[in-house]
């Protein structure tokens, strides 16, 4: 379980804005965690038995999500990430 002071979510690109994503495999998703002052991709996967909060290899922390996605997601996604109204909330735990 993630520490209660952190926010954890899974992100995936959806360039066609499809409501149904047929290729919905765990490898399509990346896990992001927010601390009180930073955000980064982490190694946690749904298939893990225990929460893994380690920062992904080659990643660093950033002050905002739009900086964190640079170099990880496509250029189109990075550009659209600055327009937060285009991000759809799908599910929660």
- DSSP classification of residue 1: -
Closest C-alpha to 8, from 38, 42, 37: 42
Contact between residue 30 and residue 57 where contact means Cβ atoms under 8 Å apart: no
- Sketch the domain layout of the chain as residue ranges: 7-16+23-86
* pLDDT at residue 33, rounded to an integer: 95
pLDDT at residue number 59: 93
User: What is d(CA 43, CA 58) in angstroms, rounded to the nearest whole number?
Assistant: 11
Q: What is the pLDDT of residue 88?
A: 57
pTM score: 0.77
Q: What is the pLDDT of residues 59-84, one digit of tens each?
A: 999 998 888 888 888 888 787 777 66
What token pair was written down for 83? Answer: 């327009």
Residues of the chain with pLDDT under 70: 23-24, 83-93
């Amino acid at each position: 379980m993630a520490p209660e002071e952190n926010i954890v979510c899974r992100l995936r690109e959806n360039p066609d804005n499809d409501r149904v994503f047929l290729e919905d495999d765990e490898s399509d998703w990346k896990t992001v965690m927010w601390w009180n002052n930073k955000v980064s991709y982490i190694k946690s996967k749904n298939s893990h038995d225990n929460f893994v909060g380690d920062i992904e290899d080659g990643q660093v922390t950033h002050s905002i999500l739009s900086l964190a996605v640079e170099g990880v997601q496509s250029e189109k996604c990075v550009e659209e990430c600055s327009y937060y109204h285009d991000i759809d909330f799908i599910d929660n735990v």
